[in-house]
Amino acid sequence: MNQHAPMKTVLLCVVLCLSGLTLPATAQPATDGASRQVAPETDSQQMSTDLQNLPWKPFKAIIKAIPKLAGDVDAYGPLGWQFVRENYTTYNWKKKIDKLDPAQKKQLAELIRKARATP
């Protein structure tokens, strides 16, 4: 039996995790000022943070307004919504937001903006 196998597995996991963290740092920034755009990852991360900071009712209304996000929660039935209610402030929504098409992302951003502007 190979005694170093567990250590190799741990090292492999660490290397894979760290390599995933360094990918955005290796991206080349745009040199033309007119062609610069905000990175979608930044937008998704910001929207995720904004969603986490909303009260439950506006948060739920926004999720229900985006069919793809609502479908992900509805797939688990009432327990899905219960789980979301208990964890939405700490759940990383970025991965779900990244899967949205540009029109849905724009709609989501607008809904979040409106919810944040409402007292």
Mean pLDDT over each residue of the chain, to the nearest integer: 77
In this structure, is residue 29 part of a structural domain? no
In this structure, is residue 67 part of a structural domain? yes
In this structure, is residue 69 part of a structural domain? yes
In this structure, is residue 91 part of a structural domain? yes
In this structure, is residue 20 part of a structural domain? no
Q: Which domain holds residue 70?
A: 38-119
pLDDT tens-digit profile of 13-51?
444 444 444 444 444 444 444 444 444 455 899 999 999
Rounded to an integer, the average pLDDT of 83-106 is 94
In this structure, is residue 30 part of a structural domain? no
What are the two backbone dihedrals, phi and then psi, of residue 55, each rounded to the nearest 5 degrees?
-65, 165
Decide if 63 contacts 46 (C-beta within 8 A). Answer: no
Distance CA 11, CA 33 (A): 41
* 33 DSSP assignment: G
Which one, of 91, 92, 109, lies nearest residue 100 by Cα?
109
Rounded to an integer, the average pLDDT of 94-103 is 94
Number of domains in the chain: 1
CB atoms closer than 10 angstroms to residue 92: 12
End-to-end alpha carbon distance in the chain: 64
Amino acid of residue 98: D
In this structure, is residue 88 part of a structural domain? yes
